[in-house]
Amino acid sequence: MHRFKKRSCPSAPLAFTSAVTVVLGFLIFAGAARAKPDSDEARYLSPREMVLSPDGVWLYVMCEGSDEVRVVDTRTGRVLKAIGVGHVPRGIVLSPDGKQIFVANSWDDTVSVIDTSSFKVVRTLTTGFEPNGVVVDRENKTLYVANRLSNDISVIDLASGQETKRLAAGRGASYLLLSPDGTRLYCTHVYPKIGAHRTPPESEITVIDTQRQVVIDRKPLHNVAGVFHLAASSDGELTVAAQLRPKNLVPLAHVEHGWAFGDSLAIFGDDVNGVVQVPIDELARYFAMPYAVAITPDKKKLYVSSSGSEVITVIDIPKLLSYVKSANAPIANDLSASANYVVTRIPVGRNPKGLLLSRDGTRLFVANRLDDNISVIDTSNDVVVSSIDLGGKKDMTSLRRGERVFYSARFAFQGQFSCANCHIDSTFDGLQWDLEPDGFGKDIVDNRSIEDLSGTEPFKWNGGNPNMATECGPRTEKYFYRSQSYNSAELADLVTYVMALPYRPNRYRLPGGELTPAQERGKAIFERTDNKFGKAIPESNRCAYCHSGPKYTNQKLFDVGTGKKTDRSPLIDVPQLPNVAYSGPYLHDGSARSLEEIWTIFNPNDKHGFTNDLTKDELNDLIEYLRTL
Amino acid sequence: MKRVRALSLFVLISIASFGAAPDMPRFRFENFTTANGLPDNHVFTVLVDGDRVWAGTENGLALYEAGKWNVFTTADGLAHRAVLSLALDKNTGDLWVGTMGGLSRVSGGRIDTYTQLNSGLSNDVVYGVGVQGEFVWTATAAGASRLNTRTGEWSLFNERNAPMDEIWAYAVSTGADKVYYAVWGGGVLEYTIATGRWKNYTDPDGENELVLFKDQGLIHKITTSVSYVDKVLWVATYFGDSHYDGRNWHNFMAKDSGLPSNFTNQVRGLDARRAWFCTDKGLAYYDGVNWAVYRPALDTGKPEMYVRDVAGTITPITVSTAPAHNYILALDFQRDDIWVATAKGLSHGIRQK
């Protein structure tokens, strides 16, 4: 989700229309309730996560697009309040006593604390870089926040409001789950570790002892990149995480053979032996981007939202466990396996994200992020019985339509994946891909960030796509989706959306925008024209020559000595540098695992900038400056 | 004749005081070698984390837990097989490991490695490591490095931005207000956290490597270890040891203290008065007045302990165990017990009284 401009948040209760029917204390909607204030029409809400008050009356819906929490009365289906929070909220949790809501504001590096009696933000806490998941312990004393860009977990003492420590998580730490007994905290990650070049992706589930507040274990997830929400059974013996298994070491030409992504679950706990990965796809149909998971209190059913496929997958847990126990070999890649435990697929809205079960397990709420509504599912028969319209802008703009195209897998062969598979939350995936049908291991490309792209054309590492329409249109159709892909209107909308993706806040700049002494020294190195021996550096060997202009690219091709024998050409498109700090690994094929390695390993002949006269201190300064861009 | 009389007097004093030796800690030493699980007998460093004991050896990092050794090697992601230094982040539980090939972090069983090629670390030879809040300080063969674990920023300190005559940083000790470095040939460097400023302590007259007069200043500029505790600095060198309280220096040499040797690999202050000294001729403990030495006898190799009181009287103590070797490299504390890294194994000194 992305912000395109700062918005104000309404505080007045919103009025709604629509007839409602109440069944079992929950609202079953015949039609949609609508929020009507004029200010509400100006923005899309993009609901992403939800929590429910202990008495089941209030549904708190965190809206990523409007920077607010909308409060829904489940008895009437009306949105009573919109509580403004920070920028791009991504995580929400209710305190054990139900008196407070904590919302992680990913672009502000804060947590908003909402008083549920007044529906007001009463406190703001500071976190690490890009907070995402948030969990409070059972004693209501400690808040844990997963920080996606600093790859760690903030431990915040709620009495003082101070962060007491940061625990090292994995790359892209994003989602948290407290075990039912409160003794363990699990953290998943949307990006894989940066490992050796061209090796299978590896992720982990970080395990924290909540008594000692230290990391005690890291459950390895082999061949896994993005991992999302977790859920645990009430007896604590089964924990499930939604995950993506990318097959990035083989050419993407093998989409028709199912070699792009595996949508799957990682399950662990006393019910199984170790960590077991199980697919949710079928042999000829995929359920892209599994995101949230929910387990019914009786431990009979498991629900999975497929955010790219507009369905909720329903899994029979006893059948799943029975099948896993009887399997003689790993089943993660056996797409016939799902027939043994998937009982149905429930169609819902666009880009379904967060799932929430009522306490008695009779209702499942689904946040349809790109429809601005909530699907309510009756879990007795797994049918959508109503939809809660949260309000928000109703007119479809090209931007919103493009966002829907971006997040939908319906354009790809067998619905295997969408743009968002590789550009998680419209960023990147930390992987290197073999995209074209030119043989195994040729023209390997690192996935680049796609924020703030205007003025960075051409696209692709070899500069082969002169504009985004080519990149997203025929190129995608031919090399990625293996299908007819988009019509011209859809392509235009998609291009509009992608080109409008904004620049995320840079965390390395001082609040006033000035540079630290180290960054100033680095800037001088970046802009220098003479080497340390007093000789002029050839123009093409100066950092600021190729990396010039507002996006730090002169939009040309150069041979900087990093081409491989397996590349068709040594000429590389000069990449833009905004927020380069976050998008490792580096170089066109991702062979440099850190910014340092670009120059300590891959620049022996000074072709990628004249740098071999620099001391280690000076190289560190240069990197400190690059991180501010 | 004069010499014979003096010797007789020494013997008489020793005999007379035999039963009145100061009450110094006594230990029963249990020794670990490759025969019972260590990956190598050459143990550079040891660190206690509650009931767990980490040993840095020449052939890997070993963890002693629940009576068993578990060994981590480069195959597990360790930067290098030779582990020179260890530091525990007590807040997070993470272990920082200085090796001959980079810096590693052990966290929840995962090992991450930082080298001079993949990170801002100044040099791969990491002699010392220390944790101060969110910062990890390293002493390397090319100066000092500081990693901000929250932002990933590396700051290097060397002859260009610190009073570092030499850049061979050998050890680091961190406190809430200061960070101290032992720089081999460069004396001691003091970093004040509040101001971000450096100050150096070296030979007082600036011409020699050592003090000309006792307690004139830092005993020698070839320093090997620092230990900052209770706002007091203990310094080890190959030529004796120093104690500095911020105003006055007090130096120790074998000739005028209970040190068994001037050649000291490590000093560990217990508080402002008491410290342990790891020398090439045994392990020494100083309680602020008296000394005790623990070692295999240099001539027979038999277990040996003796106490030296304030008057210089030496009293042998009968013991049946000793550290694995007299060449002591490092030490750490486990409640009343001690763990001792030696050139020929790791010793667990179990406190007897």
* Other Cβ atoms within 10 Å of B272 Cβ, number: 15
Average pLDDT over residues A392-408: 95
A28-61 exposure pattern, b = at least 16 Cβ within 10 A, e = fewer? bbeebbbbeeeebeebbbbbbbbbbbeeeebbbb
The reported pLDDT for the residue numbered B24 is: 96
Would the CB atoms of B109 and A165 count as touching at under 8 Å? no
Residue at A218: amino acid letter: R
Range A241-253 average pLDDT: 90
Write out the two tokens for A338: 């799902």
pLDDT at B6: 46
Measured distance CA(B285)–CA(A199) in Å, rounded:
52
- What are residue A144's phi and psi, to 5 degrees? -115, 135
Assess B120–A contact: CB distance below 8 Å, yes or no.
yes
**Record: contact B108-A597, CB cut-off 8 A:** no
A152/B120 Cβ within 8 A: no
The verdict on a CB contact (< 8 Å) between B150 and A166 is yes
pLDDT band at A21 (very low <50, low <70, confident <90, very high): very low
**CA gap A283, A350 in Å, rounded:** 23
Q: pLDDT band at A261, cuts 50/70/90?
A: very high
Segment B203-242, tens digit of pLDDT: 887 777 878 788 889 999 999 999 999 999 999 999 999 9
Looking at the 3D structure of chain B, how many domains does it have? Answer: 1
Residues 6+ apart with CB under 8 A from B251: B211, B214, B215, B219, B240, B241, B242, B243
Quote the pLDDT of residue A204. Answer: 98
Q: How far does B347 lie from chain A, in Å, by closest CA?
A: 27
For A516-527, the pLDDT digits (tens) are 999 999 999 999
| pLDDT, tens digit, 9 for 90 and up, residues A362-379 | 999 999 999 999 999 999
pLDDT of residue B14: 46
Q: Is the predicted pLDDT of residue A16 greater than 80, yes or no?
A: no
A29 φψ region: left (φ > 0), alpha (ψ -120 to 50), beta (else): beta
Single out the residue of A155, A210, A221 nearest to residue A179, CA to CA. A210
Please tell me the predicted confidence (pLDDT) of residue A425.
95
Average pLDDT of the residues in A281-297: 96
Q: Do B108 and A212 touch (CB under 8 A)?
A: no
User: Is the link from the previous residue into B303 a cis peptide, with omega within 30 of 0?
Assistant: no
Q: Which two tokens stand for residue B264?
A: 């000291």
Does A135 have pLDDT greater than 50?
Answer: yes
Does an H or E element contain B327, and which? Answer: none
CATH ID of A517-626, from 3.40.50.12280, 3.40.50.2300, 1.10.760.10, 1.20.1280.50: 1.10.760.10
pLDDT band, very low/low/confident/very high, at A13 (cuts 50, 70, 90) = very low
Query: What pLDDT sits at residue A478?
Result: 74
From start to end of A233-323, where are the E strands? Answer: 239-246, 261-268, 276-279, 290-295, 301-306, 311-316
Handedness of CA A84, A87, A89, A92 (dihedral sign): negative
**What band does A253 get if pLDDT is binned at 50, 70 and 90?**
confident
What band does A259 get if pLDDT is binned at 50, 70 and 90? Answer: confident
* Mean pLDDT computed over A549-557: 95
Q: Of the candidates A232, A154, A241, which has an alpha carbon nearest to the alpha carbon of residue A190? A: A241
Q: Which two tokens stand for residue A63?
A: 């809206």
By mean pLDDT, which of A134-138, A462-466, A536-540 is the weakest? A462-466
pLDDT at A475: 78
What residue type is assigned to position A506 of the chain?
Answer: N
Instruction: Pick the more confident residue, B139 or A34.
Output: B139
For residue A578, pLDDT over 60 is answered with: yes
Helices (H) then strands (E): counts for chain B: 1, 30
Strand partners, A241: A230, A266
* Cα–Cα dist A78/A29, whole Å: 11
Question: Residue type for B93, please?
Answer: G
Residue A442 has what pLDDT? 84
Is B124 an 8 Å CB contact of chain A?
no
pLDDT exceeds cutoff 50 at A24: no
List C-alpha distances in Å: B29 to B32, B200, B219, B346, B348. Answer: 10, 39, 32, 10, 5
Residues 6+ apart with CB under 8 A from B32: B38, B55, B64, B69, B324, B345, B346, B347, B348
A617 close to B (CB below 8 A): yes
Q: How far is CA A352 from CA A288, A356, A404, B123, in A?
A: 11, 12, 11, 49
Q: Are the C-beta atoms of residues B56 and B97 closer than 8 Å to each other? A: yes
CATH number (domain holding residue B268): 2.130.10.10
Backbone angles phi, psi at A291, to 5 degrees: -125, -60
Closest residue in A to B123 (Cα) is A616
Residues of A in contact with B150 (CB under 8 A): 128, 150, 152, 166
Which two tokens mark A292? 């949230």
Q: Say which residue, A97 or A328, is predicted with more confidence.
A: A97
Residue A40, pLDDT > 80, answer: no
Q: Give the domain extent around B311.
A: 2-351
From the list A164, A593, A620, the residue facing B154 with the nearest CB is A620
Do B92 and A218 lie within an 8 Å CB cutoff?
no
Q: Which residue positions in chain B have pLDDT lower than 50?
A: 1-2, 4-18
* pLDDT score for A255: 83
Distance between B74 CA and the closest CA of chain A, angstroms: 14
Indicate if ipTM > 0.85: yes
Q: Terminus-to-terminus CA distance in chain B, angstroms? A: 42
In this predicted structure, what is the pLDDT of residue A254? Answer: 76
CA-nearest of B288, B351, B353, B347 to B28 is: B351
User: Are A616 and B107 in contact (CB < 8 Å)?
Assistant: no
* pLDDT > 90? residue A436: no
Using an 8 Å Cβ cutoff, are B332 and B43 in contact? no
Residue of B nearest to A599 (CA): B117
Asked if the model's pLDDT at residue A428 lies above 50, the reply is: yes
Q: How large is the average pLDDT for residues A564-580?
A: 93
Is there a contact between A616 and B116 if contact means CB atoms under 8 Å apart? Answer: yes
